[in-house]
Structure 1
Amino acid sequence: MPNTYTQIHLQLVFAVKHRTAVISSTWKYDLYNYITGIIHNHNHKLIAINGMPDHVHILIGMRPTQSLSDLMQQLKQDSSKWINDKKLTGSRFSWQEGYGAFSYGKSQLQAVINYIENQEEHHRTRTFLDEYRRFLDVFGIEYDEQYLFKPLE
């Protein structure tokens, strides 16, 4: 795309269906590498990726050649298939519907990278739902509780 210049940084957050804690430490880095490949194959730039057993945070530099909804559909679809093909969980794996996408300026990136890299530390004192509500509040996004990620069962 000649003469098209962009700087779009997005933090993407999505959860395992029913928020079950099935992303194992034994294969989570393989999953992150697979997700990284999907992002690169669509010509976006992965900046940071990490998560917990029930959710993932990704920071990307996004190219305007694909819609965010198409990228998220591809990420979830392909990574679910990869997990299921490898039989990494005791039952059929899928991601919960929906996702969060939050934009940042270049000067904010290091703080977001640090936040993503330190997920385990953050979740010692804050649940995923509390974290997610905080994102929505900080970004001024109106929401209905019934449509947030489902709580742990």
Structure 2
Amino acid sequence: MFLMANSLAHTKWICKYPIVFTPKYRRKVIYNQLRKDIREIIKDLCKWKGIEIIEGNMMPDHVHILISIPPKMSVSSFTGYLKGKSAMMIFERHTNLKYKFGNRNFWATGYYVSTVGINTSTVQKYIREQEKQDQIEDSLSRKEYSDPFKGSR
């Protein structure tokens, strides 16, 4: 199997996404105390959803994070959750920002996302080992099944 793969019940997965989003009007507001608070808020929200932050960077006018999201969760739903909840928490902690940003719209609409692949040799190794795994599982269950598409002649 994959060396660094995560697991769900019947799934091995590596789903990494770099996501970039910006404050409304690309204001340069991610400084000092606000930067620390936004970092902690994003860490907490990811932890609550079981999302691993692999790498992150808080720039003055945007947030760039590389996260690992399980395949059962869509990137768009998680990003909507992250931006929406973090905006509410930022305004809760920094009430003076509501005069600059208005109706709790801290983040600009939209975001950038891409995928991070794995190398070909890892896929080849997985495919080779999957065949071995199937053979092992078949040898544990020796029950013979009749072909349901052939008549009983």
TM-score tier (shorter)? 0.5 to 0.7
- SS of aligned partner of 1:27: helix
Aligned to 1:91, which of 88, 100, 111?
100
Greater gyration radius = 2
The percentage of aligned residue pairs carrying the same residue is 29
Describe the SS at the equivalent of 1:94: coil
Q: TM-score, normalised by structure 1?
A: 0.64
1:82 to 76, 81, 89: 89
Q: Which moved more, 1:12-21 or 1:38-47?
A: 38-47
Q: Which has the higher contact order (CA 8 A, sep 6+)?
A: 1
Moved more, 27-36 or 84-93: 84-93
Question: Are 2:107 and 1:100 aligned?
Answer: no
What letter is aligned with 1:70? S
Partner of 2:150: none
Inter-partner Cα distance in structure 2 for 1:83 and 1:9: 26
In the TM superposition, 1:1-153 aligns within 5 A as 1-87=8-94, 89=97, 91-92=100-101, 94-105=106-117
CA contact (8 A) 1:21 1:53 kept: yes
C-alpha contact (below 8 Å) 1:9/1:106 kept by paired residues: no
User: Unpaired segments of 5 or more residues in structure 1?
Assistant: 108-153
Which structure 2 segments of 5+ residues have no match? 1-7, 120-153
- Partners of 2:87 and 2:29 lie apart in 1 by 12
Instruction: Tell me how far 1:2 sits from its aligned partner.
Output: 1.1
- Structure 1 ranges of 4+ moved more than 3 A: none
How far off is 1:59 after superposition?
0.5
Report if aligned partners of 1:10, 1:59 keep a CA contact under 8 Å in 2.
yes
Distance 1:39 1:106 in 2: 23
Q: Secondary structure at the match of 1:103?
A: coil
Corresponding pairs, count: 107
